[in-house]
Structure 1
C-alpha cells in the first residue's frame, strides 16, 4: 500500500479537504441517508468555505494524510467540544476522522488517531470526545478498540433529517 504522509492542514488545503470530506462522507453514509438532504449537507458542511472558515479558527486543527504524490486520502478535525450536556473541563473533540476506503484497515486509521491525540496533548486536553453514527458499526468498533466508551447520545442533522449519534469519550492522561 502507498504510504501516508501526515501533516497539519492550512487554509490553502480547503479545496482538497472539501473533496475528501464529500467523498468519504458519501461513501460512508449513502447506504441509508436520503439523497437530497445528503447532497445539501455535502454542499454546506463539506464545502471549501466550510474548511477555510474552520481552519481560520484558533481552536481548530486538521491533520491531513496524503500520498507521496500529494493526493489527499484522509483527515482528522480536532475542535473545542460541542456537547455541553456531556462535556467536562479539559475536553477536546475529534469532530471528523475520515479515510478513503483503500487506506482503511492497514493501520492508517490508528496513525491518524494518534495524530489527533498528539494535537490534544499539545493543547493540554484531558479527555477526547467524538460522536459517531450508531449504525456505523465499523467506526464504532474502531473507536472502542482505541479505548473510547459511550457516554451519551446526540442528534446529527443531515439537511432536515435527524440521525442518532452516540457520543464517546476517552481519557487522554
Structure 2
C-alpha cells in the first residue's frame, strides 16, 4: 500500500474541500453549536476558498494520497498574523492538518506533518483546541510544545486554543 505526499495543485481544490468538510468536526469540541460549524464550513472550506488559497504565495498546501486517493491535507501560512506570543510570532503556522479518520493510527498523519515541516526552514507554530487531547498528544509527539493560548472562532463560537511551536 503506497502513499505519496506532494504539493497540492489547483486541480486538487475540490478533493481538498470535500476532505476538509468531512474532517473539520474532528477539531471541534462536542459543545460547538452545529450552526457555527456549518457557518465555518460555508465561509472557509468550499472549493472556491481552496482555489484562492492554492493561488496565494503566502500559503503552502500539501496533499497525502493513498492509492491515488487524497486522504489528508495540510496547509502552512507563511506569514500569519501575530498571536502576541514572542516565541510564536514571526514564524510560519501549520493552520490545517487533517487525515481521514479511517487512516488514523497508521502513521500517515505523522508522515504528512513531517513532510510539511521539511518543506520550509525555521520554526512552525500551530493552534489546537485545548479540549482536543488526541491532537495535543499527536503534536507533542511530533516535537511541538505549548507556549501560550489564544482564541479561535468557529462561526460565533469562541474557542480557547493552545499555541504550540516546533523549532
Per the TM superposition, whether the score is higher than 0.5 is: yes
Identify the residue that residue 142 of structure 1 maps to in structure 2.
Answer: 138
> Cα gap change, 1:84/1:30 in structure 2, threshold over 3 Å: closer, same or farther?
closer
Decide which of 48, 72, 79 is 2:77's aligned counterpart.
79
Q: CA deviation at 1:152?
A: 1.2
Q: CA deviation at 1:82?
A: 2.8
Q: CA deviation at 1:112?
A: 0.4
Matches within 5 A, 1:75-114: 75-80=73-78, 81-86=80-85, 87-89=88-90, 91-114=91-114
Matches within 5 A, 1:7-22: 7-22=6-21
Task: State the 4+ residue runs in structure 1 displaced beyond 6 angstroms.
Answer: none
Q: Deviations over 1:53-93 (max 9, x none)?
A: 1111112111101222x32210110112333412344x111
Matches within 5 A, 1:15-30: 15-29=14-28
Asked whether the 8 Å contact 2:82–2:89 carries over to 1, the reply is: no
Alignment coverage as a number of residue pairs: 164
CA distance in 2, matches of 1:82, 1:6: 27
CA distance in 1, matches of 2:138, 2:94: 14
SS at match of 1:163: strand
Asked whether the 8 Å contact 1:82–1:93 carries over to 2, the reply is: no
Relative to the length of structure 1, the TM-score reads 0.88
SS at match of 1:31: coil
The reply to whether residue 155 of structure 1 matches residue 151 of structure 2 is yes
The reply to whether residue 169 of structure 1 matches residue 162 of structure 2 is no
Relative to the length of structure 2, the TM-score reads 0.91
Q: Which runs of 5+ in 2 are unaligned?
A: none
CA distance in 2, matches of 1:28, 1:161: 13
